[in-house]
Amino acid sequence: MHFLEKAFHRLRTLALAYPETREDHPWGETAIKVKAKTFLFMGYGEKKLRLSLKLTDRHEFALQYPFVSPTRYGLGKSGWITASFSGTDRPPMDILAAWIDDSYRAIAPKRLAAKLGAAVPVPRSG
């Protein structure tokens, strides 16, 4: 299994560990939702990994990374970013985990986000 595919599965598992999440597959992508709202779009194919998520405070800073761009379809104006990796790119799993956490907290109902406290889960690397 290619390391980007492993990263996809680790990040998917991490996102689905949040309270009241579920997986959907619109447009051939994986969408991770809390209640009925998507907080993470992700896809893997042909040794390419892509994630789109909503950031709050980290939005402008995230856009400084070379692998990040504003999400298309006007979502970038609302704080959504897309991170893309291919070939030998090594995704920064700790940063992506923090961004998934930020996106969940931004989209989830306040009562669910409040249950999390301040801890951010971090996926194992390797």
The pTM assigned to this predicted structure is 0.89
Give me the CATH topology for the region 3-114: Aspartate Aminotransferase, domain 1 (3.90.1150)
Structure confidence at residue 125 (pLDDT): 47
Structure confidence at residue 90 (pLDDT): 94
Locate all alpha helices (DSSP H) within the chain, ordered by sequence: 3-16, 59-62, 93-107, 110-114
What is the per-residue pLDDT across 37-82, written as a single tens digit (0 to 9) for each? Answer: 999 999 999 999 999 999 987 778 899 999 999 998 777 778 899 9
Structure confidence at residue 57 (pLDDT): 79
What is the per-residue pLDDT across 83-119, written as a single tens digit (0 to 9) for each? Answer: 999 989 999 999 999 999 999 999 999 888 888 876 6
